[in-house]
Amino acid sequence: MYKVRMKMPKRIKPLYEDGIVDEVLSQLMSGKEATVYVVRCGLDIRCAKVYKEASKRSFKKAVEYQEGRRGRNSRRNRAMENKSSFGRKQQEEAWQNAEVDALFRLSNAGVCVPEPYGCFEGVLVMQLITDANGDVAPRLNDIVLSEAQAIHDHAVIMHNVARMLSVGVIHGDLSEFNVLQDEFGPVIIDLPQAVDASGNNNAKKMLERDVQNMTNYYSQFAPQLKTSQYAQEIWDLYEKGELKTDTILTGRFKQVEKTADVDEVLLQIKDAFDEEQARKERMKDIGDEF
C-alpha cells in the first residue's frame, strides 16, 4: 500500500515554503468566492481558504456589501474608485481582509465562528469545524433536526446574530448554506461580504434578510418560529445603543406608535416659509442697490 498525496495548489505553495502549511490533505469545497482545503499545520489539522480572483468570482451585489469599507488612505480610495490596476489590487485586499477582520472581531466577542489563525498571500488559515466523530461538520442544509433542537438552535443563531451586531458586524449572506453544525451546535462561516453596520445604508435590510433566512430554515422543523420577531427586536436595541454581547433576547417586539404633533409640524412649515420670504426680500434689496 502507498499513500496518495494531493498536489500542492499553486496559491498555497508560498505558505508551504514559509512553513505555515506542511501538507494539503484534501479539497473540502469550491464555492462562489473561494476554494477551501483541509491542511496540516504541524500536528494540527486546519483549513485553508483560497480566495478566487475577482474575475472568477460569481458573488453578486458586491458594491452593496462594500459600502462603508473605505479606509483612511485617500490615494488608495481614489485608485479603487478609478479601478486602476493598483485600485483593483487594493479592492481585492479589502475584500479578503473583511473576512479576516470580521473573524477576529467576532471570535473575540464570543460569536460561534471558526477561529482564525491569519491570512497569508490571500489564503485564510482557520479552524476546521468538525462533528463529534472528528469528521468535517455538515452544513445545516444537509441535516434534519428535531423540533426541540430546531427551537434551541434557532435561539442560539439569533443570539449570535445579535452578538455580531453588538460589535458592528452583519453577516450579509447568512443562510443554512453558511452555517455548519458541530457537536455543540451551529457555527457561522463565510464572511467575506461582512457588513460594517454603522457605515452601510443597507445594514438594516441585510440584518432582516439574515434573520428571515435562518427563521425560514428552522421553521421547517418548528413552524411556531415563523411568528418570532428577532430582527425588529435586535435592530431596535442596536439603534437605542442598548445591544450588548450578553443581551438576552425574547423574540418579541412591540412597535411604539408615535402620534404626529400637527401644531409642531405646521410651526416648522411656517418658519421655513418666513425664512424663504426674508431671503427673497434681501435679494430684492441687493438688486435695487445695483
What is the sign of the dihedral through the CA atoms of 267, 273, 276 and 278?
Answer: negative
Residue 3 lies in a domain: no
Residue 247 has, within 13 A of its CA and on its CB side, a CA count of 26
Residue 169's pLDDT is 96
Q: Between these two residues, 78 and 149, which has the higher pLDDT value? A: 149
Residue 92 lies in a domain: yes
Alpha carbons 187 and 136: distance in angstroms, whole number: 12
**pLDDT tens digits for 251-280?**
999 876 555 566 776 777 777 777 777 777
pLDDT of 5 higher than 90: no
Residue 179's pLDDT is 98
Residue 141 lies in a domain: yes
Residue 255 lies in a domain: no
> Structurally, how many domains does the chain consist of?
2
Q: Between these two residues, 95 and 137, which has the higher pLDDT value? A: 137
- Please give the C-alpha separations between residue 66 and each of 71, 152, 199, in angstroms, as whole numbers: 11, 33, 10
Residues 231 and 265 in one domain: no
Q: Kindly state the average pLDDT of the residues 211-239.
A: 98
Residue 247's pLDDT is 96
Residue 267's pLDDT is 74
Q: Between these two residues, 147 and 92, which has the higher pLDDT value? A: 147
Residues 212 and 268 in one domain: no
pLDDT of 248 higher than 70: yes
Q: Between these two residues, 116 and 94, which has the higher pLDDT value? A: 116
Does residue 149 contact residue 226 with C-beta atoms inside 8 Å? no
- What is the percentage of the chain residues whose pLDDT exceeds 90? 64
Residue 53's pLDDT is 75
Residues 128 and 197 in one domain: yes
pLDDT of 79 higher than 50: no
Residues 118 and 208 in one domain: yes
Q: Between these two residues, 1 and 269, which has the higher pLDDT value? A: 269
Residues 266 and 128 in one domain: no
DSSP string, 44-76: EEEEEEEEPPGGG-----HHHHHTT---S-HHH
**pLDDT tens digits for 123-160?**
999 999 999 999 999 999 999 999 999 999 999 999 99
Residues 77 and 187 in one domain: yes
Residue 97's pLDDT is 80
Residues 235 and 265 in one domain: no
φ and ψ of 243, to 5 deg: -85, 120
Residues 108 and 209 in one domain: yes
Residue 248 lies in a domain: no
With 0-12 CB in 10 A as exposed, 13-18 as middle and 19+ as buried, what is 152?
A: middle
Q: What is the mean pLDDT of the chain?
A: 85
The domain of 278 spans 260-290
Residue 47 lies in a domain: yes
Residues 233 and 265 in one domain: no
pTM above 0.85, yes or no: no
Residues 163 and 224 in one domain: yes
Residue 133 lies in a domain: yes
- What is the percentage of the chain residues whose pLDDT exceeds 70? 79
Residue 178 lies in a domain: yes
**Residue 248: what residue type?**
I
- Please give the C-alpha separations between residue 73 and each of 17, 47, 76, 77, in angstroms, as whole numbers: 32, 32, 5, 6
Residue 275's pLDDT is 76
Residues 274 and 199 in one domain: no
Q: Kindly state the average pLDDT of the residues 201-229.
A: 97
CATH number of the domain bearing residue 137: 1.10.510.10
Going by pLDDT thresholds of 50, 70 and 90, the confidence category of residue 52 is confident
Residues 174 and 270 in one domain: no
What is the longest distance spanned by two Cα atoms in the chain?
103
**pLDDT tens digits for 30-39?**
887 899 999 9
